[in-house]
Structure 1
Amino acid sequence: MSGFLWFNCPVNADVPLLGSASAGDLLRLLRDGVPRTRNELTAVTGLARSTVRARLDTLLDAGLVSDGGNEASTGGRPAGRFVFNARARVVLAAEVGATHATVAITDLTGAPLAVRRLEQDIADGPDAVLAGLVATWRSLLTEAELDSVRPAGVGIGLPGPVEHSTGRPNNPPIMPGWDGYDVPARVGAEFGVPVLVDNEVNLMALGEHRTCFPDAEHLIVVKVATGIGSGFISNGMLHRGAVGAAGDLGHILAPNAGDVPCRCGNTGCLEAVAGGPAIAASLRAGGIEAHTSADVVALVRAGNPEAGKAVREAGRTIGEVLATCVSMFNPSLIVVGGTVALAGEMLLAGVREAIYRRSLPLATGKLRIVPSQAGDDAGVLGAAAMVVEHVLSPAVVDRDLA
């Protein structure tokens, strides 16, 4: 787990519930990790003390709440305190890229308990890739001695468009054999728990927001790697759009792209001229050996001036498209990650240059454009957060307890 970034973000718990709090609502109050007595819970919820006791007993029996010890006594019997038990269940999370995957086990706060990175090709198809994820989760559970802990749910990020409501990929350009594949049914059959699937960049946005930038209510996360994608956080919530297709930045028409073919079947797409392979191709055309995003980054880090210029120009092109997003969406923060972003300030400088040149001062006056803080872990942290938000929502908790 070395290098795995995690910041636990508090839950907005102390919202009066006016006597209507269910067991799930009571759990939401306790998810901030602060131990509370029955009297404190009674005061916050407005419930009768006997009702609070009964609902606490239900949560204790399920293992979701544990005894947090006693308050310091001021005379008489000390009051018992109760706290959320984040280890009651585990979450299985994975972020799958074009050529890699990060697989993790987390607790119910989304904090990682075990992590493994895999080299694999998304083009191998859903059966092979998902079997690899399942095998890795089982191996991690054994190695971390978590076999006896029941999974709460599974979260998976995929490198293509996903209809979030069904968890099925939808015409993903780099994922042969995946179109319409029932990922939740395949993985759910292995573990018998809810399986949530989303585009990997949506989950990167969720991961960056939850773990690194919780105070940013409006932000865009951009991934620049083999392809280019983005995720939008609006009013503190992940914005997926009507069918989960929001943020498909890489297939917006890029300025001055001409008729360069894109793997999606269209021409002139942003990723066709500014993605990692496109940058590498432009370098090869100039006699510099480069084939992948990693090759481009290595050249920039080695001080190759042509590679540096190519990456900065790609940043400008990405910035031209993002300037439109800034005008339409007005974020306070843009986070740039992905393999190509490892080239450092060259890419960011180009992005900033174009955005500040093209966008109105009102939109950019408080705008920050920064590198990813969660790095390679953003997607898997977001996958875990997606599952936690679902399985610990009051409605789902109450249904499961019933």
Structure 2
Amino acid sequence: MNKLLCVICLIISLLSQVSAKELTFGVSISNSAQREAFYTLARQFEEANPEVTIRFKALTSEVYKQAFPNYLQIDKHFDVLYWHSGQRLFEYAEDGLILPITQLWKDNQLDLAFDHSVSKSLIYNGDVYGVPISYYQIGFYYSKPLFKQLNLHEPQSWDELLSMCQVLKEAGVPPIFIGTKSNWPATAWFDYLNLRLNGLAFHKDLTAGKVSFLDERIKKVFETWLQPMKMGCFIEEHQYLSWEEGLPYLYRDLVGMSMLGNYVIQNIPDSVVENIGFFPFPLVQTDQPSFEEAPIDVLLIPKNANDPDLAQRFLAFASQPNIQKELNATLGVLSPHSAAQGETSSLVKEAYEVLSNASGVSHYFDRDATKAFADQAMPVIDAFMVNQDIEKTLAKLEEIRLANFDSTN
């Protein structure tokens, strides 16, 4: 009898081992709210699939970006990875390092769930390569008490923004915080000025290497950008500051405003978040439609995934509107799913309204350009905010363009 029980127990143990599944999930995080959001997503999937255990690996944003190519090419532990849509996705799809999920997309009717502008940032050579989970709008966050004290109003035009900077300067307050020690804030300014002056189609051609940086239209972008620099609108010694360091300045009324993604809302203490306002990048010329910057984050399956079928189940789960609604409520950003727009903060609602009314969106320079081009060009754009030398900057950017693209427009 004892032998029989031992055999039965052994069989049960073996069956449980066979049926147990493990999925390894890698994500990029910038704050504790992001860690909580993705951890909750993993636990929700486990609850819906009791036979599955998720191994969760989170790295800070810059570390993750550096590690990501190895995760695809060398490391064979990951089943699902967090990444970005657009050119950054397409490069790895072209190299055959990501599995297409076209059938999953069709089976779950995701074309009905996501806008065409979202889905086309996932499609390479007719195949879909990721499930979009979040996106965010880049715009200005400002101190409401400071604006009220100085009788300032949200600017509608570039000239109004410059006038507002002058008022803040005269009051002894740095008008605009920017942290160019971080690799993206200066390029976001460049992107927006190019969109406002030259439009979305031109901007896409530029990031694709089809436009010379010696073009007069690009020179106009830098000339326009130079105006607030010469006025002293930006906080001093910004090259030694990161974007995160600006948040305490903002909610302690020590700076007028800062241009950021709306994911920063989760980094602002609840006690002061009501004192923060939002406005989009103002129009520079009235005849140009309002295009916005809205990076999209996705989940993808590496070609070397241990369990591609389980990974597809996880992506299908993450595409559900109720899951995306909860995920993005915790992240403090927006869901690209049309049925996942729930209750959220007033700042997130304002950002959503801006994107809903936009004539089109770009995804940010390093997501619209190739990695090699962006990695070389963005530090030059950062440096412009220190050297303020237009001719030198344009010449260097053109040199980089010619080194990365066959076209010599």
Normalising to structure 1: TM-score of the pair? 0.23
Q: What TM-score, normalized by structure 2, do the two folds share?
A: 0.23
Say which structure is richer in strand: 1
Q: Name the one with the larger helix percent.
A: 2
